[in-house]
Structure 1
Amino acid sequence: MSLKEKIEALKQESAGKIPEDAKKVMQRATEDLVKSGIEENIPKIGSKAYDFTLQNFDGTEITLSEETQKGPVILSFYRGGWCPVCNLELNYLQSRLSDFQNYGANLIAVSPELPEYANETVERHNIKFPVLYDTDNKVAAKYGLVFKLPDDLVEIYEKFGLDVAKHNGNDKFEIPIPATFVVDRDLTLKYVFGKADYNQRAEPDDIIEVLKKL
């Protein structure tokens, strides 16, 4: 089953649990974000990746340019462990990790979530790749991914028990749109996928097709 199919199944499963008024708020927020043109801010294929050093969930530091010296890097930005679709994506990526590694690629995930919560996500899904803490979305902003959650959507999330402020360690309510990049050894972007609709995620099979050519 593809990642898209798994996400669709999750949507169908949760549809009956979400009140209609909440669905409308969530749908409108997504539509407004799409209309905002945020996707135009994302770096294009052929441009250079922004280099960075961030803390892994276990406290170690990881630098993108050092990792690319070992081989291509699949760089995946996600919203946080509070997001069911993000959890599904991380779990799916873990299931395909060996496929990526067969082509010499490393996988790195990045979110604005505090390390303690990232660690919970890692343990819950038995993640074997780095999950980095992007304080206040500083790196995600360099990739043009950051936006502020609208107030009415924050209220909905909080009713669902999704405490974004607690997970991020601030009350800015800023998160990245989910995005995936394939970064070559010289930091050139060979693949770019970023969508304002958080239900749309990069397919591992598409990523592998890119890796085959590197």
Structure 2
Amino acid sequence: MELSKAKNFQLKNTDGKQFDLYEYQDDSLILLVFFRGEWCKDCREQLTELNANYLWFKKKNIKIVAVSSDDQLFTSILREIIKSKFPILSDHSWKIFELYGFKRPTDEKRIKPALFLFNAKHQILYKHIGKSKKDRPSIKSLKKLCDNN
């Protein structure tokens, strides 16, 4: 079944506080990024680019949230390394990945990057599931997409 509405979830953030997606969203658009892990060079590059463009997204009333299958320690390390201005969350149990329709692979290197853009009514406006670890929309194409929504 095709996911048409973004599902709410709660996870502990890197500070140990409860994060609730819908509460965080308010009336903003959300750019939800699923990534492979701290160990993934392409993922770190994508998150670093998103972080460098954080103010652009903020001015457009778009909040970024990233979710990894890493454990809390590696998620915290990555957040510190890139000095992330947006939440980077650990879903080591795979509950959120599964909520969004992903099956746990036998090898975590097979995790495909994914990105969802949804509005305040939780309607998914855009979805990209990568076919490979490098298959991700560029910042330029994301900005163009966001300008049109």
Is the structural similarity TM-score above 0.5?
yes
Q: Is contact 1:72-1:185 (8 Å) kept? A: yes
Aligned length: 149
Q: Distance in 2 between matches of 1:149 and 1:42?
A: 23
Higher mean alpha-carbon deviation, 174-183 vs 85-94, is at: 174-183
Aligned pairs for 1:135-146 (under 5 A) are 135-146=92-103
What is the CA-CA distance between 1:146 and the residue it aligns to? 3.0
CA-CA distance at 1:204 after TM superposition:
2.4
Structure 2: gaps of 5 or more residues: none
Q: Structure 1 CA distance, aligned partners of 2:2 and 2:67?
A: 16
* Secondary structure, counterpart of 1:181 in structure 2: strand
Note if contact 2:36-2:109 (Cα within 8 Å) is conserved in structure 1. no
What residue in structure 1 maps to residue 119 of structure 2?
Answer: 184
Structure 2: which amino acid aligns with 1:88?
A: E
Q: Compute the displacement of 1:80 (Å).
A: 0.4
CA distance in 1, matches of 2:6, 2:84: 24
Give matches, 1:175-214, under 5 Å: 176-214=111-149
Higher helix share: 1
The answer as to 2:73 corresponding to 1:116 is: yes
Look up the match of 1:78: 35
Cα 1:42–1:134 shift into 2, 3 Å: farther
Q: CA deviation at 1:196?
A: 2.7
More strand by share: 2
Give 3-state SS (helix, strand or coil) of 2:81's partner. helix
8 Å CA contact 2:50, 2:139 repeated in 1: yes
How far 1:48 sits from its partner (Å)? 0.4
Counterpart CA distance in 2 for 1:42 and 1:125 is: 33
TM-score for the superposition, normalised by structure 1: 0.64
Alpha-carbon distance, 1:140 to partner: 0.7
8 Å contact kept, 1:146–1:174: no
Moved more, 76-85 or 194-203: 194-203
Within 1, Cα distance between the matches of 2:28 and 2:87? Answer: 15
Structure number with greater Rg is 1
Amino acid at match of 1:138: K
The residue aligned with 2:85 is: 128
The match for 2:48 among 82, 85, 91 is 91
Give the conservation status (yes or no) of the 8 Å contact 1:67–1:73: no
Report the aligned-residue RMSD.
Answer: 2.0
Structure 1 unaligned residues grouped into runs of 5+: 1-40, 151-172
